[in-house]
């Protein structure tokens, strides 16, 4: 494997072996996912996204000298473990809102579908966090280290929590009208919980004028969203959307306004990770 690590970037850092594995997985699984007949995506989604995650992690390693994997392989793997139940939470909410469905899911038994889905869902948080780490490594991100401060008082968290509960209830009662609250209600609810339980919360950084993590997460989720939608377009099984009032100007299957939902979604993932696993990886920093 050492032979794979010879190429260096301008900083003199070698391209790590796991980066080559990631590139190979993407190069093989991407065309197969689009070209093979049958239900290929059910089995190729995970290795394709694992390839993306390993490749981005290797980019972070060569740029920064450390990465989620190199800092702690155990924590890297545990990100996959917590990712699956987090996304199943959104699937549970979707039972009420019905904003997306999976074409081809009926070809599997319920047990097969749920197991394969869980494996696929395990890549969501690692993909977003790795992309955020990569963006965080660029020098232009430093300008967001001293940005306008956000006033986050105890009253702010009470207001957020109450607002999040109202959003969630409204969405569950009138899903066809208030379905966009899927992507805002949870962050409004969970962020105060992280504050009240003494866990890390992103509003603390905004209170200090440091927007880097928030910007990196937001752009990282939008970037992953473009890859999710692009790779999904010629997949099977695949997902399609039912978004009342916004089903126009599609980029792949997603209406263009739907991409805005990836920004609060990224913050939801971060807040849920902090709540469930407060000692887990901290973006852009040593664990």
Q: How confident is the model at residue 284 (pLDDT cuts 50, 70, 90)?
A: low
**Annotated domain spans of the chain:** 2-276
> Residue 102 is inside which H or E element, if any?
strand 100-103
Residue 4 has pLDDT above 60, yes or no: no
User: Residue 235's pLDDT is what?
Assistant: 97
Of 199, 192, 60, nearest in space to 126 by CA = 60
Whether pLDDT at 3 is above 90: no
Rounded Cα–Cα distance for residues 287 and 70 (Å): 10
pLDDT tens string 59-79: 999 999 999 999 999 999 999
Nearest residue to 260 (alpha-carbon basis) of 246, 274, 241: 246
Joined together, the tokens standing for residue 212 give: 């880097």
pTM of the full predicted structure? 0.92
Report CA dihedral (6, 9, 10, 13) to the nearest 10 degrees: -70
| Whether pLDDT at 12 is above 70 | no
Q: Each residue of 15-47: pLDDT tens digit?
A: 999 999 999 999 999 999 999 999 999 999 999
Q: Does residue 246 carry a pLDDT above 60?
A: yes
Residue-averaged pLDDT of the chain:
92
Q: 10 pLDDT exceeds 80?
A: no
């Amino acid at each position: 494997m050492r032979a794979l690590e010879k190429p260096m970037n301008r900083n003199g850092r070698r391209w790590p072996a796991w980066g080559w594995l990631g590139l190979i997985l993407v190069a093989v699984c991407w065309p197969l996912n689009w070209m093979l007949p049958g239900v290929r995506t059910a089995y190729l989604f995970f290795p394709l996204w694992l390839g993306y995650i390993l490749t981005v992690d290797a980019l972070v390693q060569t740029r920064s000298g450390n990465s989620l994997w190199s800092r702690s392989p155990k924590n890297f793997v545990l990100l996959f473990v917590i990712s699956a139940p987090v996304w199943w939470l959104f699937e549970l909410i979707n039972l009420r809102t019905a904003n997306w469905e999976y074409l081809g899911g009926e070809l599997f038994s319920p047990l097969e579908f749920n197991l394969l889905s869980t494996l696929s869902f395990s890549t969501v948080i690692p993909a977003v966090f790795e992309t955020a780490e990569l963006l965080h490594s660029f020098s232009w991100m430093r300008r967001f280290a001293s940005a306008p401060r956000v006033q986050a008082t105890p009253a702010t968290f009470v207001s957020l929590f109450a607002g999040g509960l109202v959003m969630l209830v409204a969405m569950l009662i009138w899903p066809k009208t208030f379905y966009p609250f899927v992507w805002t209600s949870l962050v409004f609810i969970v962020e105060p919980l992280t504050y009240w339980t003494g866990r890390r919360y992103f509003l603390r950084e905004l209170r200090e004028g440091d927007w880097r993590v928030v910007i990196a997460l937001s752009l990282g989720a939008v970037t992953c969203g473009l890859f999710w939608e692009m790779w999904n377009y010629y997949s099977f099984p695949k997902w399609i959307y039912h978004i009342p009032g916004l089903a126009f100007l599609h980029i792949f299957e997603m209406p263009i306004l739907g991409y805005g939902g990836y920004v609060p979604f990224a913050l939801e993932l971060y807040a849920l990770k902090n709540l469930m696993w407060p000692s887990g990886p901290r973006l852009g920093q040593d664990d």
